[in-house]
């Protein structure tokens, strides 16, 4: 169910504009508004899941779908061969600021080591 004050639920509902890259019944992909690399987009479940810690067994199909959609879009965006990262931040110390689960897809430049 949509959460009224959630920015990503509002993007799903079309109440806030976004550069939409892909959409189906379960997921939405859109460009990150503050890209940290030449290619940076987000893949989100349409359903409001706050963090990775809220994922249940019932969510496993949509999480797997997000990974595959992300890879297909990465290819489409031209970074399939050079490589890219898929990142999910969980809670404050990881840098999560939007509490609607989202998968970052980042590429188009050399990445440093994680950490
Ligand atoms: P995180 O820090 O993992 O919670 O990532 C949140 C991401 O959402 C950041 O990279 C923001 O730039 C991005 N973001 C926030 N608001 C919007 C928006 N309205 N449209 C697109 N991306 C957004
Ligand atoms: Zn939400």
User: To which H or E segment does residue 103 belong?
Assistant: strand 103-107
Tokens of 15: 């109440």
Q: What is the pLDDT of residue 35?
A: 98
pLDDT by residue (tens digit) across 39-82? Answer: 999 999 999 999 999 999 999 999 999 999 999 999 999 999 99
Instruction: Spot the catalytic one: 34, 40, 65, 102.
Output: 102
- Whether this model's pTM surpasses 0.95: yes
User: 22-44 burial string, b = 16+ CB within 10 Å, else e?
Assistant: eeeeebbbbebeeeebebbbbbb
Task: Determine whether 65 is an active site residue.
Answer: no
How far away, in angstroms, is 98 Cα from ligand 1 center?
7
pLDDT by residue (tens digit) across 89-112? Answer: 999 999 999 999 999 999 999 999
Pocket of ligand 1 (CB under 6 A): 7, 16, 18, 30, 32-34, 89, 95-98
Residue whose C-alpha is closest to residue 42's, from 14, 64, 23, 16: 23
């Amino acid at each position: 169910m949509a959460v009224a004050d959630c920015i990503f639920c509002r993007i799903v509902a079309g109440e806030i504009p976004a550069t939409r890259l892909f959409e189906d019944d379960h997921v939405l992909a859109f460009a990150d508004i503050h890209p940290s690399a030449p290619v940076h987009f987000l893949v989100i479940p349409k359903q409001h899941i706050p963090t990775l810690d809220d994922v249940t067994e019932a969510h496993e199909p949509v999480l797997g779908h997000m990974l595959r959609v992300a890879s297909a879009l990465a290819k489409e965006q031209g970074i399939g061969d050079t490589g890219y990262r898929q990142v999910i931040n969980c809670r404050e110390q990881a840098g999560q600021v939007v509490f609607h689960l989202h998968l970052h897809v980042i590429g188009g430049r050399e990445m440093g080591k994680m950490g």
